[in-house]
Structure 1
Amino acid sequence: MSDYEIFELGDVVLQCGRTLHDAKLAFKTFGTLNAAKDNVIVYPTWYSASHADNEWLIGEGMALDPAQYFIIIPNMLGNGVSSSPSNTSEPYDRARFPPVTIYDQVRLQHRLVTEKFGIERIALVTGWSMGAAQSFQWGASYPDMVERILPFMGAARCSRHNFVFLEGVKAALTADAEFKDGWYEAPPRRGLRAMARVYAGWGFSQTFYRKELELKQPVRPFGGRAPDVPWNYASLEDFLVYFWEGFFLPKDANDLLALLWTWQHADISGDPAYGGDFDAALAGIKAKAIVMPGSTDLYFPQEDSAYEVARMPNAELRVCHSDWGHFAGDPRGTSPDIAFVDAALKELLAR
């Protein structure tokens, strides 16, 4: 039995001009929608993740408390649970799955929120990494609906440097002869392992590796579920194999590439209302906002966040000082980092 529901989207015309037939948006909810329908939090997923990977930030006594809020976790198209290369019928299966933008993702999430639940106001949209990009997009595309956003360790558009990093990830995965241009019959395991090795140098910071933090057992995460893997690895190689290769090997290569395309082309000004004007899209976000970069994040540096905040009318820059790089925002991060995110969420919700 699945622990999620499916919202039938029907035939969806995407920004790329192609129609995704019989599209499906998987989602999971926590808590109860109140009579006023004003206790809503939307919490989108991140790269390669499903709804289950977001649950660490939800719990009793936490900011995202199901006793107080109705929390919706929508799965991105391409993540293997919503419509994706791995679960779509011909002719748009596998390598032919159409490209999906962040604007497409949020537009379809908006349909879920309004058509299924009749919601007109959202108290908060928050998310980590690609979830942060969707938080920004919600604020820009639906400024009169979204009251608050807290994007953490993410950006309102993919930077040129970030784009180049992702080209390296893509090249490592697709160089496997077994990949067969996306028409593989068996998983391209050599490519998935190579992708994991490339990713390993970026997901955590130089300081993380200098301090050999992968060899030490940290505090358990604040609230939510326990981490999937222990942090007392025997060696750096043990960490690279068990954590990083183990992270990517179960995933479908075409799904990973579909979401990688979405990540590379993330830009909130992709909403037709802004016509590609990034500064105008940032200025269009009316929501109260705390934008939270990580101090050692190699994907999304705080300089980019400072640029965004300077052009948003109601935003504050709040840096999470951590040695854990991008993964300061993930359940595999340290307890103080997760507590920092949770405290900011509580403060923002109280405004």
Structure 2
Amino acid sequence: MKVTDHEIFELGEFALGGIPVPDVRLAYTTYGELAPDAANAIVFPTWFAGTHEANEWLIGAGKALDSDRYFVIVPNLFGNGLSSSPSNTPAPYDRARFPHATMLDNVTAQHRLVTERFGITRLALVLGASMGAGQTYQWAVAHPDMVERIAAITGSPRTSPHNQVFLEGLRAALTADAAFADGDYRTPPRRGLRAFARVYAGWGLSQAFYWERVYAALGFETLEDFLIGVWENNFRDWDANDLLAMMHTWEHADIGRTPGFDGDTRAALASITARTLSMPSRKDLYFPPEDEEWAVQHIPDGELRVIPGIWGHLAGGGADPDAAAFIDAALREHLAR
């Protein structure tokens, strides 16, 4: 990871997956200025295999998250190589021995950042895409007194069985490389990372995206060029244990596991008091609109808006101009209400 434009919030000893770990660190970046009354704060957590830089497409002057108006905090997910991760944590919690952080662990750390570092007691909006959406739902359930609005983009409050099957396929591809060595590799498991990327390519975008050869319009002459140029290049330099750590957080996400709900996801959804906007992508293969239709009907002030187009899960990341415009407009309206 070569990303350097971030700050570190030192959490000290902090429980990850129920295990107290010393010197846990939360990496974050802020955009804009906090208002004197601290009423313009937004939290925008990162997604799987992304850092704060991946969120910047929605942040800035004239964008939905206007940095001339809002103070946007982007905390990095545990496991992403910037916050505490297998790749940057010393023994005995290094590599495959890194504890399994949960969505609630991430949000608990973010809550401390927001309240202790900035003194914020109310958030105008919490939003995120993919795993960021999972953290968004977790914020609304764990801290209902703080969150006015949430926007969950191409994500869900719990990971479905079909989604878990997808993740198990990724894990199997990555760890099948002999070089992986049960997580104690001396050199990166390159074959496993390439296999991981190619499995992901079949899920991240829709069948229609490939059928219509949208990759050719992006400048890739062949399908193979696209698989290498986008998917393999995207994951080539990631630490394998970091990817697996984030996947475990994703695979076991469920707001019903928040203390007080005894695994009842419906009850957790019903407890959300924030005005809720859910934006699944019409062609998403592992966070389909049907899942969010189910979730929104249990949220007292929930609204569903399906992102049109054929970009599948990647519609939530700003790559498709039409989807990006749809999300930007919906967020502007959501913040104005």
Question: Hey, what does 1:13 align to over in structure 2?
Answer: 15
Amino acid at match of 2:261: Y
Amino acid at match of 2:254: D
Give the distance between the partners of 1:134 and 1:100, measured in 2 at CA. Answer: 12
Cα displacement (A) at 1:17: 2.4
> Could you report, residue by residue, the CA deviation over 1:204-260 in whole angstroms, capped at 9, with x for unpaired residues?
0001001000001xxxxxxxxxxxxxx210100000011100010010000000000
Question: Hey, what does 1:340 align to over in structure 2?
Answer: 326
Q: How does 1:1-351 map to 2 (within 5 A)?
A: 2-14=4-16, 16-216=17-217, 231-331=218-318, 333-351=319-337
Let me know the Cα RMSD of the aligned residues.
0.8
> Could you report, residue by residue, the CA deviation over 1:65-104 in whole angstroms, capped at 9, with x for unpaired residues?
1100000000011100000000000000001000000011
Identity value in percent? 56
Cα displacement (A) at 1:193: 0.1
SS of residue in 2 equivalent to 1:52: helix
Gaps of 5+ in 1: 217-230
- Regions of 4+ moved over 6 Å: none
Does the Cα contact within 8 Å between 2:255 and 2:265 map onto a contact in 1? yes
* TM-score normalised per structure 1: 0.94
> Could you report, residue by residue, the CA deviation over 1:262-300 in whole angstroms, capped at 9, with x for unpaired residues?
000011112112221100100111001110110000010
Cα displacement (A) at 1:53: 1.2
Amino acid at match of 2:5: D
* Equivalenced residues, count: 335
SS of residue in 2 equivalent to 1:10: strand
Gaps of 5+ in 2: none
Cα displacement (A) at 1:50: 0.7
Give the distance between the partners of 1:329 and 1:145, measured in 2 at CA. Answer: 25
SS of residue in 1 equivalent to 2:25: strand
> Could you report, residue by residue, the CA deviation over 1:104-143 in whole angstroms, capped at 9, with x for unpaired residues?
1101100000011010000001111000101111111111
Give the distance between the partners of 2:46 and 2:257, measured in 1 at CA. Answer: 20
Amino acid at match of 2:201: A
SS of residue in 2 equivalent to 1:24: strand
SS of residue in 2 equivalent to 1:348: helix
